[in-house]
Copies of this chain bind each other. A is one copy, B any other.
Amino acid sequence: MQNFIYVFDMIGTIACAISGVLVATRLKMDLFGTIVLAGVTAIGGGSVRDMMMGTTPVFWILDNTYLYVILVTVLISIFCLHRMDRFSTYLLPIIDAFGLATFTIVGAEKALSFGFSGIVAVVMGCVTGVVGGMIRDLLSGRIPLVLQQEIYATASILGAILYVICSYFGLQAMIAMTIAMSGTLLLRLSAIYWKLSLPIFDDRR
């Protein structure tokens, strides 16, 4: 179980680090600036989660693997950039969606494992999934993806709720995580592909 979550967490870390590199490249940042932006995106959400839950020192201080994974990901990504280049407009939202889906489940699971309530687990899933990308977008002067119309926070909240329900009914961890992650990913990718959005409450009517 723990190993399974760990693998998910690493996938999310790699996905978020790549999304940071993509944004940094567009902003023409140098190597270390790129490392900072990739790092913030990859471990920002989990750090805020840990600080809120009081499980400090935060996860990456206790397990430096995350930092090394980010470093290696940044170096490889930069090396491959001339290949990813022409796809980056399509690639960024898709890779970001993977980070969102994995981190949401990891965050919800961590909150449940500490004995917090279901609603706290949903919030923590959402915090872990959303905050890293939010800080990335804020720092780079973009309007955060989470605030744009396409279903974003919605996908994270739905995934977290799915995971909490599956856990509540005692489903096996691997199944629960697969269901919840598929839910977030499907919803988010459909939203990107079909430009879906929830009905909006327009105050200009």
- A31 CB–B CB distance under 8 Å: yes
Q: Contacts A34-B201, A138-B139, A153-B32 hold; do A57 and B147 have CB atoms under 8 A apart?
A: no
A143 to chain B, nearest CB (A): 5
Which residues of chain B are within 8 angstroms of A153 by Cβ–Cβ distance? 30, 32-33, 35-36
Residues A98-153 near B (CB distance < 8 A): 116-117, 119-120, 123, 126, 130, 134, 138-141, 143-144, 146-147, 149, 151-153
Oligomer: number of copies: 3
Answer yes or no: A177 CB below 8 A from chain B CBs: no
- Contact partner of A67 (CB less than 8 A), chosen from B27, B88, B119, B139, is B119
- Which residue numbers of A lie inside 8 Å of B, CB to CB? 25-37, 39, 47, 51-54, 56-58, 60-61, 64, 67-68, 78, 81-82, 84-85, 88, 116-117, 119-120, 123, 126, 130, 134, 138-141, 143-144, 146-147, 149, 151-154, 157, 197-203, 205
